[in-house]
Homo-oligomer: A and B are copies of this chain.
Amino acid sequence: MKKILLTLIIFVSSGALLIAQRPSVISPEVHADNSVTFRFSARNAKRVSLDTEILPAPVKMTKDDSGVWTITIPPAKPDIYPYSFWIDSIEVNDPNNTYLFSNEGFKHSLVDIKGDKPLVHSLQNVPHGKLSYHTYNTAQGIAGTLIIYTPAGLDVNGKTKYPVLYLIHGGSDTEETWTKVGKANLIADNLIAQGKVKPMIIVMPYANTGLMMSKAFGTDMMNNIIPFVEANYPVLTDRNNTAIAGFSVGGGATLNIGLMNLEKFAYVCAYAPYTQTPEFKTNFGNWSPDIETYNKKLKLFTIYVGESDQYIEIVNSSIKLFKEKSLNLETMFVPGGHTWMNCKLFLATTLPQLFRE
């Protein structure tokens, strides 16, 4: 998108300008029919494979005389997919691709198959909101980072107040995963421009995996993050204008934080929630809620999951628990696994349902 290929010169090492010392390859190359060619230059490697979330298993690549390993995979449904290369027994991201998965535990590359028609997460020529990166004081220190989406045309005088969604990433993700991988800002831009979604503020905190599995992140959310947002942004602070959503371990945190703080949240939306955590057990192990109050207060309570999600059994057991308690839970099962392709779909399904009254 924003990369111009310089075939003769490559910039390396802190902006240094050098004549290319190894074959310059284009990877990934998305073709007009949505097939994709991946390339990796490694003359001395014995075996190179491509590992994508497009194909069900890694596939071997073939080396040509110049030492470049190549594979072209069949047309795929337009979307943004993670991938990596396995060089002998080492996994690497694609050195020729700028677009990386934001994560602390792995560093996959991403291939964006745009297709002919704009998708709900595509960069379109509509008014764009902005993302603000904040450093805020967490209970654990001063290193917390928070990304806040504000919609296009935000009233700079602060007279108009907006509803707010707290949106939590998955295990080992970072505060940037919902925007750089999940395109939450572009999804909101597009759906707001279409009039399908109310202009809202979306708050994406850094949520450490370890802390999310205990009570610590929820405490940080209630005591630090929400007060910071309410002090610094024109947000409506009542429960009818406050939602929480999250994926995977962040989906588990969403259930813990949302359902335990009904005085703050009227919308609780969990995507493939991972709930095998001490905190979930503490909250829901011997839970005897006042169901009538819950069903009255929860304007939206959803669990969405991919049918082939590796945690499908854990998710189903959580669904069972809430259904047995007769909570008004809406579920959605879609094809696919525990992926950010599905996260984008889940978010685009949730946003139009929020703050509608």
User: In the complex, are the beta carbons of A133 and B134 less than 8 A apart?
Assistant: no
User: In the complex, are the beta carbons of B172 and A44 less than 8 A apart?
Assistant: no
User: In the complex, are the beta carbons of A16 and B210 less than 8 A apart?
Assistant: no
Which residues of chain B come closer than 8 Å to A43, judged between CB atoms? 89
Chain B: CB-nearest residue to A13: B106
CB of A162 closer than 8 Å to a CB of B: no
Q: Tell me the dominant secondary structure on chain A's binding face.
A: loop
Q: How far is the CA of A163 from the CA of B87 in the complex (A)?
A: 50
CB of A98 closer than 8 Å to a CB of B: yes
CB of A66 closer than 8 Å to a CB of B: no
What is the oligomeric copy number? 2
Which residues of chain B come closer than 8 Å to A11, judged between CB atoms? 105, 170-172, 209, 249
Set B13, B17, B91, B142: member contacting A125, Cβ < 8 A:
B142
CB of A128 closer than 8 Å to a CB of B: yes
Size range of the chain A interface in the assembly: 35 or more
Which residues of chain B come closer than 8 Å to A142, judged between CB atoms? 123-125
Give chain B nearest CB distance to A19 CB in angstroms.
13
User: In the complex, are the beta carbons of A274 and B123 less than 8 A apart?
Assistant: no
Q: How far is the CA of A257 from the CA of B14 in the complex (A)?
A: 22
Interface residues of A in 104-151 (CB under 8 A from B): 104-107, 123-125, 128, 130-136, 142-145
Which residues of chain B come closer than 8 Å to A95, judged between CB atoms? 91-92, 106-107
Which residues of chain B come closer than 8 Å to A340, judged between CB atoms? 14
Q: How far is the CA of A17 from the CA of B313 in the complex (A)?
A: 14
Which residues of chain B come closer than 8 Å to A310, judged between CB atoms? 16
Q: How far is the CA of A284 from the CA of B135 in the complex (A)?
A: 43
User: In the complex, are the beta carbons of B123 and A143 less than 8 A apart?
Assistant: yes
Interface residues of A in 250-300 (CB under 8 A from B): 272, 274, 276
Q: A residues engaging B (CB < 8 A)?
A: 1-4, 6, 10-17, 42-45, 53, 82, 87-93, 95, 98, 100, 103-107, 123-125, 128, 130-136, 142-145, 156-158, 170-174, 206, 208-211, 247-249, 272, 274, 276, 310-311, 337-340
Q: A12-B106, A14-B53, A43-B89 are in contact. List 8 more A-B contacts (CB 8 A).
A: A2-B143, A2-B145, A2-B208, A4-B209, A11-B105, A11-B170, A14-B338, A87-B87
